Amino acid sequence: MLGCAGASRDELRSRALAAGLRVIDVRLDDDHAEVDVEGEGCADWGCAVLDVVDVETIEGAGDPLRRGLELMSMGRFWEAHEVLESLWRGTPGLAGGSLGFLVKCCAAAVHAQRGRMESAREIARRSMAAPVDERYLGGLLADLRRECGAPDRDLGRVLREFARRALGALAGENSGRPAAN
- pLDDT tens digits along 20-66: 888 888 888 888 888 888 877 666 676 766 666 665 555 555 788 99
Cβ partners under 8 Å of residue 41, min gap 6: 16, 19, 20, 21
**Beta carbons of 140 and 148 less than 8 angstroms apart:** no
- CATH number of 58-171, picked from 3.90.25.10, 3.40.50.460, 3.90.1150.150, 1.10.3450.10: 1.10.3450.10
Give the span between the Cα atoms of 64 and 101, in whole angstroms.
Answer: 15
Cβ partners under 8 Å of residue 131, min gap 6: 94, 97
Give the span between the Cα atoms of 161 and 142, in whole angstroms.
Answer: 14
Alpha helices in the chain (DSSP H): 9-18, 64-73, 77-88, 93-113, 117-127, 140-148, 155-171
pLDDT at residue number 177: 45
DSSP string spanning 96-138? HHHHHHHHHHHHHHHHHHTT-HHHHHHHHHHHTTS---TTTTT
Amino acid identity, residue 114? Answer: R
User: In the sheet where 48-49 sits, what is the strand order?
Assistant: 22-28, 33-38, 2-3, 48-49
User: 139-155 burial, b if ≥16 CB within 10 A, otherwise e?
Assistant: ebbebbbebbeeeeeeb
Give the span between the Cα atoms of 39 and 71, in whole angstroms.
Answer: 25
Which whole number is the average pLDDT over 140-145?
89
CATH 1.10.3450.10 range(s) for the chain read: 58-171
Helix axis angle, 93-113 relative to 77-88, nearest 10°? 160
* Entry pTM: 0.80
pLDDT digits (tens, 9 = 90+) for 97-135: 999 999 999 999 999 999 999 999 899 888 888 888 888
pLDDT digits (tens, 9 = 90+) for 6-18: 678 888 888 888 8
pLDDT at residue number 20: 86
pLDDT at residue number 49: 67
pLDDT at residue number 41: 66
pLDDT digits (tens, 9 = 90+) for 58-103: 555 578 899 999 999 999 999 999 999 988 988 999 989 999 999 9
Cβ partners under 8 Å of residue 62, min gap 6: none
* 176 pLDDT higher than 50: no
